[in-house]
């Protein structure tokens, strides 16, 4: 398995964006950079009990009060053989992403500290995170580790976008 080249960032097409810096390609690169960790964990049943993982990354420019959830999903990726799934990990990950996207909070925080924000039908599963407006959710691992994978992807996104922004010529920045 080849680890994605962070320098490939400069050659990314910016065709599927809503945000200037945070594109589908950036989400894909961030997931690719997290992939070695995920692939190793898939073999550890103490981390990923199912042997499968599903990730959802939301578009930060598409807010819950303005867009349908389905239209705000920026990127999704599954790990492991989907034909062997024993549950719908994609649906679980989407439900976790929806909760964090709607509230702007980690799902665990909402469920434990802010249950007044829960609506009928919201998931009670942990694994969705919101880091500085970056919403990522994972499902398939145990809840603590779903959060690890989602947070790692979000941290990569934040780092890639910051690097991209810092390398952009000043003339492109509006004051």
Task: For 65-118, write each residue's pLDDT tens digit.
Answer: 999 999 999 999 999 999 999 999 999 999 999 999 999 999 999 999 999 999
- Give the CATH H-level superfamily of domain 18-165: Haem-degrading domain (3.30.450.150)
pLDDT of residue 170: 73
Q: Please, where are the H alpha helices in the chain?
A: 24-42, 69-72, 89-103, 107-113, 143-167
Domain-wise residue ranges, the chain: 18-165
Tell me the whole-structure pTM to 2 decimals. Answer: 0.87
């Amino acid at each position: 398995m080849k680890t994605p080249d962070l320098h490939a960032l400069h050659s990314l097409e910016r065709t599927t964006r809503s945000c200037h810096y945070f594109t589908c390609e950036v989400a894909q690169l961030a997931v690719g950079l997290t992939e070695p960790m995920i692939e190793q964990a898939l073999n550890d049943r103490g981390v990923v009990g199912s042997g499968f993982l599903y990730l959802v990354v939301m578009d930060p420019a598409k807010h819950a009060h303005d867009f349908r959830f389905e239209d705000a999903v920026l990127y999704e990726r599954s790990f492991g053989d989907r034909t062997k799934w024993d549950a719908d990990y994609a649906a679980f990950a989407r439900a976790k992403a929806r909760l964090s996207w709607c509230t702007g909070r980690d799902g665990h925080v909402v469920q434990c500290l802010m249950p007044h924000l829960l609506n009928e039908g919201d998931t009670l599963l942990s694994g969705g995170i919101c880091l500085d407006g970056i919403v990522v959710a994972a499902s398939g691992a145990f809840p603590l580790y779903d959060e690890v994978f989602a947070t790692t992807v979000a941290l990569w996104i934040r780092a890639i976008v910051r690097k991209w922004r810092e390398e952009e010529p000043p003339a492109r920045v509006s004051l």
